[in-house]
Amino acid sequence: MFGRSPEGTYRWIPWDAYPWLEHGFGTRHAPSDLSRFTTLRQIHSAIVLDAGALPGCLGEGDALVTAEPGGCIGVKTADCVPVLVIDRRQRVVASVHAGWRGTVQRIAWRTARHLIEGYGSRASDLEAVIGPGIAGCCFEVGPEVAVQFTSLLPDRTDLDGRTRIDLAEVNRTQLLEAGLPASQVQGCGMCTVCQVEDFHSYRRDREHAGRMISYIGLKKENGRERWFAP
């Protein structure tokens, strides 16, 4: 149930039911201008920061949360997995940059817990959508990376050698562990490496890879924010 918006992002169509919400998962065809969003200097950490409504770089970290109408938070990716989370009752939103290092540090779980403990969200009110990143078809890693997933993938016996890891699935598991109902955690099934026409990919394009912006924002009352306006 993903659709394309006029500006070239992918949108999770069921979220159109929330008139207060705006979001998009970046593609190579969407604008990559960050100036309208609150962003982070992303360092592959598990740091979650609270943003208000002011655009600009807030500091170092890899997940942002805002409850402020007019606020719009964004993450940059090119293979790492973008995750957007909403509290549909209290109107709080989060954006997460989950590469393999952030995933190992459980950033998706930490972000959900941040909403629950810091904002009083009920897990049953949270919805998450896991956007396009490098998928299990293409994320082949050596044992030095694979072994770091041992506690996250306790059933796997092949983590001491070259293997493939599905980062979206690991992030999904973390969100379920944080208490989100399974029906409220959606994946997209897209792969940034395979879908050349749609996505930048660091693994495929190396230093030539661009970056894509995934964003989520809270509209003001009766407002028509144009975060992507030319």
The reply on whether position 194 binds Zn ion by CB under 5 A is yes
What is the 3-state composition of the chain as percent helix, strand, coil, each rounded to the nearest 5?
Answer: 25, 30, 50
We find the least distance from the C-beta atom of residue 135 to Zn ion, in angstroms, to be: 5
Q: Does 141 bind Zn ion (CB under 5 A)?
A: no
CB of 5 to Zn ion, least distance (A): 23
| Distances 16 to 12, 42, 92 between C-alpha atoms, Å | 8, 28, 16
Closer by beta carbon to Zn ion, 21 or else 80: 80
Interacting residues with Zn ion between 116 and 135 (CB under 5 A): 135
Shortest spacing between CB 203 and Zn ion, in angstroms: 9
The interface region with Zn ion, picked from 95-103, 157-165, 188-196, 205-213 by CB under 5 A, is 188-196
Q: What is the distance between the terminal CA atoms of the chain, rounded to a whole angstrom? A: 27
Number of residues that bind Zn ion (CB under 5 A): 6
Residues 6+ apart with CB under 8 A from 173: 152
* Contact indicator for 96, 75 with CB cutoff of 8 Å: yes
Q: Is 191 in the site for Zn ion (CB under 5 A)?
A: yes
Please pick, from the candidates 137, 147, 158, 223, the single residue that binds Zn ion as defined by CB under 5 A: 137
- 103 within 8 A of 145, measured Cβ to Cβ: no
Enumerate binding residues for Zn ion (CB under 5 A): 135, 137-138, 191, 193-194
